[in-house]
Structure 1
């Protein structure tokens, strides 16, 4: 059996059901202000569009983090030690993962937890070929919900959680603390976590990253409605909503909305939702951090910084340990 086939056979598939997606959407749209879970951005088309976003001239986070990783990974490998089980939350394409696994000393296994099955299998196929000595144990699931991790055949020395891309910034404060606490439990007392965080900077630079000139980010945001129409039978008119992303300097975050362009009705699961002209649906936050804010989150979650690395434009990697 090929290395790729073995990795695919090891897949734990916890893809969200239609019923769960429908319940999440109805709950979100029943709130005021209305919301849709950003988790559901990542079907096959959404994952492909996000990869395009990461390559746009305006979107600095990915290329900045990649360059920082390349610079600091020797130090990370020394701090982490050999024979670790790497667990990645929201693995996406796996570009950063390949760098990390190649830098570590004899990693035992790799468990990506990714909600997009297509993106997960594509990244595992590439990594299994590039790193045949690393056991691939993929899990298709929403990492914000409890997931039982598969056990590697070889006993690891410790777990290393990998959470790049400033994905933590997609969560409001209470959610972020809860996620960090869950990471603390998954790590165990002797585990570590390598987390990427986008730092507060010039609002013009930040806003441009979420409003690229070619409209790729707008297509990505609107694709959420296309997915819901396909998977839960809603009837969103994509031409009647527009993408809007603005930076709040007081909250240190990008706030991304889909804004209704007219008075309209949308049918979802037997319910009718009325949208006023100009009414937003909040679909994503992208928090930016400074050291004081981030350190306070860690303290509340029972974590502390073991090492930190920064680069320009302001972006950071933090190696976390349990307190």
Structure 2
């Protein structure tokens, strides 16, 4: 069995692949570590609970957030070409699947090409995962060739799952394709972190003689004004999404650690690093009580990093792939050249 099967009301199997004590993230521990760090930060995973996914989807449909529409444009125009690189009888694993609103374009193209595919959707939010895979199954109208399965866990849990002999359903395949959509690769703190994670997936696949390939979406926009407008924290939908991260901390701690009325958020784009960072910002001097018993003091305006979003063009993505021992073979872009989807082997 590929983990512990979770009974659910959707029409797809969902498995718990969390590796307790062997790679699953201790969020409370990460929160304490981040609050004590200089500069301070909070884990970006806090943003991706079920409520966070719902709020992000609302934000992603705001007019200035170009990423959603550009990636959808690529999938609508190029889905058949992209599907052509995925062999029949193989495994497709989507990393951090979210709401799966765009994935259907690719899975429909695979069905149209007559390819038998076992598709796994990985996410850290169980409720969000079961809801998303159930909705995707309905949208595809009971697919006959593509099997949809949910995996509950983190990236590291997925690496362990692949690395475990019993970690996969019995399936005769020689290829596993990793799908990383939504520019999520650039949410890693540094490009080297992204390379390290890609390398882990590659090595885990090779351990079982599986050929691995990666379909990765990356935001290549270099227009600083356009990027800043897309992540304008005065936008109500973005502010609601970011501040939900603090609500998630309160839920985890079982106490009101962060009083939301004392906090706002702001963003800043660094063109030299090709990276945008979003911060939690206190509106007055505040005290935060950590789960470790420590007390953390933040003065008005003392920012705590919430998440970063790199704007990685072809040159940087080539470097990320090369550092992971991968070769970039092809790229599909939108008409304006703002967004790309890459295939690396």
Same fold (TM over 0.5): yes
Q: How does 1:141-220 map to 2 (within 5 A)?
A: 141-145=153-157, 146-149=159-162, 150-171=167-188, 172-188=190-206, 190-211=211-232, 214-220=235-241
Partner Cα distance (1:16, 1:219) in 2:
31
The residue aligned with 1:67 is 73
Instruction: Report how far residue 313 of structure 1 moved.
Output: 5.2
In 2, Cα distance between equivalents of 1:233 and 1:79: 47
| 1:112 alignment partner in structure 2 | 121
In the alignment, what sits opposite 1:128? 137
**Which secondary structure state, in structure 1, belongs to the residue aligned with residue 26 of structure 2?**
helix
Check the 8 A contact 2:182/2:217 in 1, yes or no.
Answer: yes
Q: Residues 219-234 of structure 1: matches in 2 within 5 Å?
A: 219-234=240-255
> Which of 150, 166, 178 is equivalent to 1:138?
150
Contact 2:65 2:231 in 1 (8 A): yes
Of 6, 17, 28, 1:22 maps to: 28
Q: 2:12 aligns with which of 7, 14, 19?
A: 7
TM-score (norm 1): 0.91
Q: CA-to-partner distance for each residue in 1:89-143, whole Å, 9 max, x for gaps?
A: 0001112221111112423211111011122101111233324433333111111
1:319 has 2:319 as partner: no
Structure 2 residue runs without a partner (length 5+): 1-6
**Pair 1:266–1:4, CA change in 2 (3 A):** closer
Quote the Cα distance in structure 1 between the aligned partners of 2:122 and 2:25. Answer: 21
Any runs of at least 4 consecutive aligned residues in structure 1 with deviations exceeding 3 A, and if so which? 2-6, 15-19, 144-147, 186-189
Which of 75, 83, 92 in structure 2 is aligned with 1:86? 92
**Cα distance in 1, alignment partners of residues 9 and 107 from structure 2:** 17
Aligned length: 319
Deviation at 1:47, TM superposition (A): 0.7
Cα RMSD (Å) of the superposition? 2.4
Deviation (angstroms), 1:226:
0.7
**TM-fit CA distance, 1:213:** 5.4
- The change in CA–CA distance for 1:61 and 1:283 in structure 2 (over 3 A counts) is same
Distance, in Å, in 2 between the alignment partners of 1:27 and 1:102 is 43
**2-structure distance, mates of 1:103, 1:240:** 48
Aligned to 2:39: 33
Q: Is residue 260–residue 276 contact of structure 1 (8 Å, CA) maintained in 2? A: yes
In structure 2, the CA distance between the partners of 1:246 and 1:179, relative to structure 1 (3 Å rule), is same
SS in 2 for 1:35: coil
In the alignment, the residues of structure 2 paired with residue 295 and residue 30 of structure 1 have an alpha-carbon distance, to the nearest angstrom, of: 35
Conservation of the 8 A alpha-carbon contact between 1:42 and 1:116:
yes
| Preserved contact between residue 197 and residue 317 of structure 1 (Cα < 8 Å) | yes
| Aligned 8 A contact 1:15 1:140 in 2 | no
One of 276, 301, 314 as aligned partner of 1:254: 276
Alpha-carbon spacing, 1:227–1:3, altered in 2? closer, same or farther (3 Å): closer
Shift of 1:186: 4.5
Alignment CA distance shift 1:139-1:291 (3 Å): same
* Distance in 1 between residues matched to 2:149 and 2:177, nearest whole Å: 14
Distance in 2 between residues matched to 1:199 and 1:174, nearest whole Å: 18
| d(CA) in 2 for partners of 1:4, 1:82 | 29
How far has the Cα of 1:13 moved from its partner?
Answer: 5.3
